[in-house]
A and B are shown apart, each in its own frame.
Chain A
Amino acid sequence: MLEINNLHCELEEDSEVKILRGVSLSVKPGEVHAIMGPNGSGKSTLSYVLSGRDGYEVTEGSATLEGADLLEMEPEERAAAGLFLAFQYPVEIPGVGNMTFLRTAVNAQRKARGQDELSAGEFLKLVRAKARELQIDAEMLKRPVNVGFSGGEKKRNEILQMAMLEPKMCVLDETDSGLDVDAMKLVSDGVNALRDAGRSFLVITHYQRLLNHIKPDVVHIMSEGRIIKTGGPELALEVEENGYGDLLAEAAS
């Protein structure tokens, strides 16, 4: 599904700032991979480079989604190809209604994939059903995108978008941060409901607790722009118990 090979990037405006220094990983269809790592290790940057945000210069390596070169595509083409990024910091857009935004996004992607656009009625039915599962009320759908939303509401809104867009490859960047136990459960249930043999997940998290709910197949530890260790779910538990210290020291030696 997602193949990342020796990916290097630096800041576009300052080539001295090298952030990714050779990331490689391979996510198969239906798999859930977790990326853990200390703050500043480059996890969000990886998600941005995959989704096509400006400001980063890829200097080496490749990233493909089902064989297609992601790095050559515009952000919207990546989305249409099936990539979805749940943002660490969902963006507030005053003046754009959440519903308008969702409908425009869903139909833009359907069009790009050669599917018929959803009618207003079909869309409304679908969004209401999915919102109910995530306990997003109608009031929240009417408001401008993420404006005045609590941290938890923003994260649930990201998952709602994901559920509506039905991507193949979902990248979740710290979707657990700022969530209380109940909200974490809601969000995880939302994610688990989407798990499917043809859909893969890359779950970026700082803490192990999210991985109790969304069980990963593979866990990667990232530090200073590299994957320094890859293992099974037990690796997450090791981090939980001992912190990153030992792993980092081990990698340095």
Chain B
Amino acid sequence: MIPRAKLKAQKVDAAGALLDGVALPEGGAWITRARKAARERVLEMGLPVKRDEYWKYTDPRRLTDAGAAPAALHDTQGEAPVFGQIDRVKLVFVDGVFDPQASDAMDLAGVEICTLAQAGESDLHWARDLYGTLEARGQRPVERSLASLNTAQAREGLLIRVTAKAEKPISIIYHRSSAEADAMVHHLVRVEAGAEATILENGPLAARFNQVMEVDIADGATLHHVRAQGRDHERAGVAHLFARLGARSQLKSFTLTANGALIRNEAVVWLDGAEGSAHLAGATVGDGAFHHDDTVYITHGAPRCESRQVFKKVLRHGAVGVFQGKILVDQIAQLTDGYQISQSLLLDEDAQFLAKPELEIYADDVKCSHGSTSGEIDPVQLFYLRARGLSEDTAKLLLVLAFLAEALDEIEDAGLAEDLRDRLEAWLARRA
């Protein structure tokens, strides 16, 4: 057992070494202030290590190493692109760097979009007030210093302000061109009172990525977020979603992950106003050298809010799935309705699912439930399908998709859900 003080010193030293001689990105006054403060947070907290309670199931080394390990580019030849049939505004990043040539015009009624680089030099009040703010708030009670590192160092990202109901989705696409790129991307999203938008993200991003999205959803506003994290196997990455919800506002976030040597998706959500609603869902398919971690922290800080977490993982050939999900209900958050389910389907005996569901409740009149299960394909269902003439592979594919359906059903837009379901089916059929 390493004493706490010694562990902390190691973490802090590692942060110091990583940032030693690394300059902050160029930018205007307000963003530089925010970056400096974030840098201080990193140096003070140190970098995560496997011995941290919060990293018990996931070794962060590949995320904290000085450079990115190379990751082969997945060949998408012949595959239908994700969201390909959806009418959307496309904003393209290559290896984590915005590519205006490949992108559509940032032109969508009721939505203001610019890049982080542009924003740093201008005086966007909403962005100034948001950048790094939710990330900093998210450092209590659990430290997430990789997100602070991102706030300090990210040069790339989009600032999206929604002032009305956007008529089509804003689609962020992450292509890769280099086997070694180490990318940091930081997005800000502000949905003004009563406004509504859908943000799509898809693609593998980079050999290694550190992504932060800070989302501020004002009273009565709605944000749909649907993400598909690409298929490249050897990637490592961490994504943080920090979201603050005002009264009667809604967040629905869904993530599909297929493959990745190490992917950790954290979602930190504050229900700050009464009657807010936050739904987080994820569908994951992992095969072989795959480690996927969903870590969710939802704070009910106001009465009559609802939260829902639905996470499903299909794992085989040694793939590892992790789920850490917490619902914290503050004393004033009476009549909270909290639901959490995490399930894994283990296709063989080598696969592993580690789950840590947690409830912490200080209000007395709440409804909270959580469940976690691990199972295999039901042999009776499998036989029934085969007895009707389905091959074993096809029958298993149907059952796997059926297992994941409950998570995909969390996507409100049927067209988007169908698109992801079709992609998933095609990917799985290829690997059968």
Contacts and interface: CB of A to CB of B under 8 A. Distances in A.
Contact of A54 (B381, B383, B384, B388): B383
Interface of A: 51-54, 74-76, 78-80, 85, 87, 90-91, 93-96, 100-101, 104-105, 108-109, 112, 144, 161, 165
Contacts of A52: 383, 386-387
Nearest to A145: B384
A104 B402 CA distance: 14
Contact of A91 (B380, B394, B401): B380
A97 to B, nearest CB: 9
A74 B389 CA distance: 10
Contacts, number: 75
A94 B386 contact: no
Interface string B369-387: 0000000000111011111
The 8 closest A-B pairs by CB, nearest first: A95-B402, A79-B389, A75-B386, A91-B384, A109-B389, A105-B388, A95-B405, A108-B389
Given A54-B379, A104-B394, A108-B394, A94 B387 contact: no
Contact of B388 (A79, A95, A144): A79
Nearest to A91: B384
Interface in B354-408: 379-381, 383-392, 394-395, 398-399, 401-406
Given A51-B387, A95-B401, A76 B392 contact: yes
A49 to B, nearest CB: 12
Nearest to B388: A105
Nearest to A108: B389
Most buried by B among A54, A96, A165: A96
Contacts of A112: 389
Nearest to A112: B389
A134 B403 CA distance: 30
Contacts of B394: 104, 108
A53 B389 contact: no
A54 B379 CA distance: 9
Contacts of B381: 91, 93
A144 B403 CA distance: 12
For B388, B389, B390, B406, the residue with the greatest tally of chain A CB atoms inside 10 Å of its CB is B389
A90 B391 CA distance: 19
B411 to A, nearest CB: 15
Given A76-B391, A109-B389, A112-B389, A87 B402 contact: no
Contacts of B406: 95
17 contacts: A52-B383, A53-B387, A54-B379, A76-B386, A76-B387, A79-B386, A79-B387, A85-B387, A93-B384, A93-B399, A95-B402, A96-B399, A105-B385, A105-B389, A108-B390, A108-B391, A165-B388
Nearest to A144: B402
Interface string B395-428: 1001101111110000000000000000000000
Contacts of B389: 76, 79-80, 105, 108-109, 112, 165
A96 B387 contact: no
A145 to B, nearest CB: 8
B399 A75 contact: no
Contacts of A90: 384
Nearest to A48: B383
